[in-house]
């Protein structure tokens, strides 16, 4: 599904990624680990085309994404959902409206939105909070709304960049369980995190980045540095 071939990314004199080779198959759950500054966010940003690569190739479904024209970038991004540590829901909109808004932006019809949003909120376990505003929800619930929003356009790949970075252990576990459930339902998931305890709970493929290089790959790994 995704191939990195000798990928390089520089920010001026910083080698954010160096000779990264990676193959991700459809349906995998991947934990991308490493200390702060290792290059995790950069790797995810390259996949969604938010940053350009300085060497090598990234293929998504055998299409070289550096050759995708600007006009086709939204099409690529619709295949991908992304969530961040910094949740950024629309504060004056309810859980329902936050997810609905993401669908409106993609041009879906009102009837489709009315039908789909409850299903997505149910999937993330928050149908009972559909009319709650962000300030009425816990951090974990807000992140689950953000995940619902990312799923609104039915992506085949979900990228999560430190999604539990601002959450306590209980809320982190809820978010992690949700990511695992989404993966079981068929979506490929990439979780970037520096949190060892989280990765050790997942027990799936672990890729370790250090100083922009992949230094370790484990099938059912534990976080080791």
User: Quick check: 151 and 182 in contact, CB under 8 A?
Assistant: yes
Q: Would you tell me which residues interact with ligand ADP (CB under 6 A)?
A: 11, 14, 16, 34, 36-42
How many residues bind Mg ion (CB under 5 A)? The answer is 2
User: Quick check: 79 and 106 in contact, CB under 8 A?
Assistant: no
What is the closest distance, in whole angstroms, from the C-beta atom of residue 126 to Mg ion in the complex?
26
What is the closest distance, in whole angstroms, from the C-beta atom of residue 184 to Mg ion in the complex?
26
Told to check if 41 binds Mg ion by CB under 5 A, we report yes
Q: Which does 34 bind (CB under 5 to 8 A by kind): Mg ion, ligand ADP, none?
A: ligand ADP
| Closest listed residue to residue 150, CA positions, set 191, 111, 109 | 191
What is the closest distance, in whole angstroms, from the C-beta atom of residue 10 to ligand ADP in the complex?
9
Q: Which does 16 bind (CB under 5 to 8 A by kind): Mg ion, ligand ADP, none?
A: ligand ADP
| Closest listed residue to residue 47, CA positions, set 15, 22, 10 | 22
User: Quick check: 38 and 210 in contact, CB under 8 A?
Assistant: yes
Cβ proximity to ligand ADP, 61 vs 197, nearer residue: 197
80-84 β-sheet, strand order:
80-84, 157-161, 188-193, 29-33, 205-210, 213-218
| Closest listed residue to residue 191, CA positions, set 221, 212, 213 | 221
What is the closest distance, in whole angstroms, from the C-beta atom of residue 12 to ligand ADP in the complex?
6
Cβ proximity to ligand ADP, 16 vs 103, nearer residue: 16
Told to check if 193 binds Mg ion by CB under 5 A, we report no
Residues in contact with Mg ion by CB under 5 A are 40-41
């Amino acid at each position: 599904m995704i191939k990195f071939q000798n990928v390089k990314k520089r920010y001026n004199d910083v080698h954010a990624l160096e000779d990264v080779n990676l193959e991700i198959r459809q349906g995998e759950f991947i934990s991308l680990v490493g200390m702060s500054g290792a290059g995790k966010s950069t790797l995810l940003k390259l996949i969604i085309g938010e940053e350009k690569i300085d060497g090598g190739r990234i293929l998504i479904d055998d299409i070289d994404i550096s050759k995708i024209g600007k006009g086709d970038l939204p099409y690529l991004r619709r295949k991908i959902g992304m969530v961040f540590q910094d949740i950024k829901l629309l504060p004056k909109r309810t859980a329902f409206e936050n997810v609905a808004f993401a669908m409106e932006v993609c041009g879906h019809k009102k009837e489709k939105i009315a039908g789909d949003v409850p299903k997505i909120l149910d999937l993330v376990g928050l149908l009972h909070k559909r009319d709650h505003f962000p300030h009425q929800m816990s951090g974990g619930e807000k992140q689950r709304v953000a995940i619902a929003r990312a799923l609104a356009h039915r992506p085949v790949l979900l990228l999560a960049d430190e999604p539990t970075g601002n959450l306590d252990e209980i809320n982190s576990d809820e978010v992690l369980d949700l990511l695992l459930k989404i993966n079981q339902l068929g979506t490929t998931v990439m979780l970037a995190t520096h949190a060892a305890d989280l990765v050790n709970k997942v027990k799936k493929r672990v890729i370790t980045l250090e100083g922009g290089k992949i230094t370790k790959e484990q099938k059912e790994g534990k976080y080791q540095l």
